Amino acid sequence: MSSSSSSKHDIYNNARFEQIACAGLSQKYDGSADNLIPTLNLIHIRRLNEVWGAATYFLHNGVQVDLIHHFSKVSLQDVKQKVAVAWNAPDAVITRHTRGTALHNSRLFGLYLMNSLTPEFAALLYSCLDSKYSLDGQLIFITLCNHIHRNHLAFVEAVKNKIQTSTLAEHKILTSQGTYNS
């Protein structure tokens, strides 16, 4: 087999592999705060079986941070800095298509995320990204999460509020039925 036909075969296999690995969620995420946590849970389940799962971890101050579960512990600025270094590297054009490299995994994660969003929300996210780095999964993910919760405190407060609201609603239902008296 000639090297020309061999490289064409690799391109086909890579494209087919990427199509399978990056198929998005069947229930597209619309950018709503209420659907964020269920969407993160679905991404967590999917990442366990995909090569791009490695891109869902971010090295921050010497500590590996799980972006899916602890996205609020990493700032958008830190991700932007790391992404700029990776995508501006002299070999970035090659490594983003080389299986097993961090840039390849992050690009696949980005494709997966974009395939998991409604077209309207995807367009909104793209408008928030620098076009040079718009394929980077970590940047897309952190931008997505920051769109809903700007920082860790906002995220924690939103979760607390949701718990209190659901608890109060349950309490009111119980007291209105007369089965629970406080």
Secondary structure (DSSP) of 91-159: THHHHTTSTTSHHHHHHHHHHHHHHTB-HHHHHHHHHHS-GGGTT-HHHHHHHHHHHH-SSHHHHHHHH
- Asked whether the beta carbons of 33 and 148 are under 8 A apart, the reply is yes
- pLDDT category at 179 given cuts 50, 70, 90 is low
Cα(106)–Cα(103) distance, integer angstroms: 5
- pLDDT category at 20 given cuts 50, 70, 90 is confident
- Asked whether the beta carbons of 42 and 32 are under 8 A apart, the reply is no
Instruction: Kindly tell me if the per-residue pLDDT of 177 is higher than 60.
Output: no
Instruction: Kindly tell me if the per-residue pLDDT of 22 is higher than 90.
Output: no
66's enclosing H/E stretch is: strand 63-66
User: Can you tell me whether residue 89 is helix, strand or coil?
Assistant: coil
64 beta partners: 59
- pLDDT category at 33 given cuts 50, 70, 90 is confident
- Asked whether the beta carbons of 92 and 103 are under 8 A apart, the reply is yes
- pLDDT category at 132 given cuts 50, 70, 90 is very high
Which conformational region is residue 67 in: left (phi greater than 0), alpha (psi within -120 to 50 degrees), or beta? alpha
Kindly state the average pLDDT of the residues 77-102.
93
42 beta partners: none
Looking at the chain, the whole-number percentage of residues with pLDDT higher than 70 is 75
